[in-house]
A and B are shown apart, each in its own frame.
Chain A
């Protein structure tokens, strides 16, 4: 028989706020307004989500650009058993999504009815929450765009 383990509640708190700065802040503010921003690198390619510094060269980046609200699934994983706090309480897919006008991908959820509806290279579009607060979850997730469907 294993020994009794004493248990007590522990609430981790972070009683401070942090400014999100000119790049991440701009991205989050854009989300509140229903706009998705990327940032241009020295070679002309666009990072989305935007970063303050180029992840390879460490150059500071400043040129924010708006990207599309639809894009391509580069890879996906079927989450048949969603965990608490994840974007959806029914089975969904995680995906790396490259939005139109961007050269890198962002991680988000795709609301598809089953794994059979998912495929690498499929088109998806953002589904916005009606109440937005400048948070990554202002995008509730992405939904498949039916072939020939309006984006």
Chain B
């Protein structure tokens, strides 16, 4: 295996970015990421992006953003209709294939012009489920009741996760839900959709992020303490809700095993749990001990959840803490689909 590290990361997340198109807000972010390690687009061996044409409401919308990278002379690039974390996975595989030692990865989404809660109904089965338009909160609420009534979690535990996210997010300038609330205050909230309360839901945001990957000695030249990717894997559960166990994340458990999460201590974990219920399942599936692992020091997706970028932001948040020496070994996780359908696990280490 070729050693690959995350060496640069920039992000922007706001509750709504109005007056700027995706390309307009991504160009400065992409330039800052490359400039922070003294590189330009022509230094990149490969470029890969994650975004959603469906969300943008325009076919091939991602091509305009590729134009924003400055792809002249022509570049080697690819795009995934997935969170940018999956674009990073493709770039990591591309580096493993040999011949290049740098890659540029970005992800972005702008969901504020519509109601993302309703838009996400369209990711469900097109014949059996989508025509009924169950919104994403409703779908997660079905899993939440199974977890609560089955004794897998308590409402108090969910409120503790929400309170921790709010407290951590207070020091994150990119978080959009930062007002502190106690467990008692959260438990006093009215249900949005019984049994989920406002603090159980993702804090929807617009924005994006950009990451530079580098291999071996190139990474050491560019970064004082590179965040080495020691293991990475992604797996999926069945699409149909009715055929899988919604009180457990089988695919996360499998990806964690293959990425080698349990091989050593985990100092910190950045988990893409859009709901408090999802974060609870992820902590369990990854086998994390919250006494020794700082979970979501950024606040996580409960503090800012930018469609198509939130997973890649978890990798960037974890890597930047390795650079700063906040920890030596981190786990980053990305998800996609209803009720944690697809999951990626990435283990990062400093030297």
Contact = CB atoms under 8 A, between A and B. Distances in A.
B60 interface: no
A17 interface: no
A108 interface: yes
A86 B137 CA distance: 13
Contact of A55 (B139, B193, B196, B240): B240
A55 B238 contact: yes
B185 interface: no
A68 B141 CA distance: 26
Contacts of A29: none
B194 interface: yes
A77 B194 contact: yes
Interface residues of B, number: 34
A107 B241 CA distance: 8
Interface string B130-154: 0111110011011111100100000
Interface string B143-169: 111100100000000000000000000
B257 interface: no
A88 to B, nearest CB: 10
Contacts of B238: 55-56
A107 to B, nearest CB: 5
B243 interface: yes
B138 A77 contact: yes
B132 A104 contact: no
Contacts, number: 102
Interface in B225-244: 238-244
A139 to B, nearest CB: 10
B98 interface: no
B57 interface: yes
A107 B142 contact: yes
Given A51-B240, A107-B242, A120-B145, A78 B191 contact: yes
B18 interface: yes
A87 B196 CA distance: 21
A74 B337 CA distance: 21
A94 B141 CA distance: 9
Contacts of B194: 77-78, 80, 115
Contact of A77 (B19, B57, B142): B142
Contacts of A108: 132
A135 B242 contact: no
Interface in B92-133: 118, 127-129, 131-133
A121 B144 CA distance: 16
Contacts of B129: 107, 136
B195 interface: yes
A144 interface: no
A148 B57 CA distance: 51
Nearest to A10: B57
Contacts of A120: 145, 149
26 contacts: A3-B18, A4-B19, A49-B240, A55-B238, A77-B138, A77-B195, A80-B193, A80-B194, A81-B193, A83-B118, A84-B133, A86-B134, A94-B138, A95-B142, A96-B142, A96-B241, A104-B243, A106-B128, A107-B134, A107-B241, A107-B242, A108-B132, A115-B194, A135-B131, A136-B128, A136-B131
9 nearest interchain CB pairs? A77-B141, A3-B19, A55-B238, A105-B242, A78-B194, A85-B133, A104-B242, A75-B146, A75-B145
Interface of B: 18-19, 57, 118, 127-129, 131-135, 138-139, 141-146, 149, 191, 193-196, 238-244, 246
Interface of A: 2-5, 10, 12, 20, 24, 27-28, 47, 49, 51, 55-56, 74-81, 83-87, 94-96, 98, 104-109, 115, 120, 135-137
Given A55-B244, A75-B146, A79-B138, 13 more contacts: A10-B57, A51-B240, A55-B238, A55-B240, A78-B193, A80-B194, A83-B118, A96-B142, A96-B242, A104-B242, A107-B128, A107-B129, A107-B134
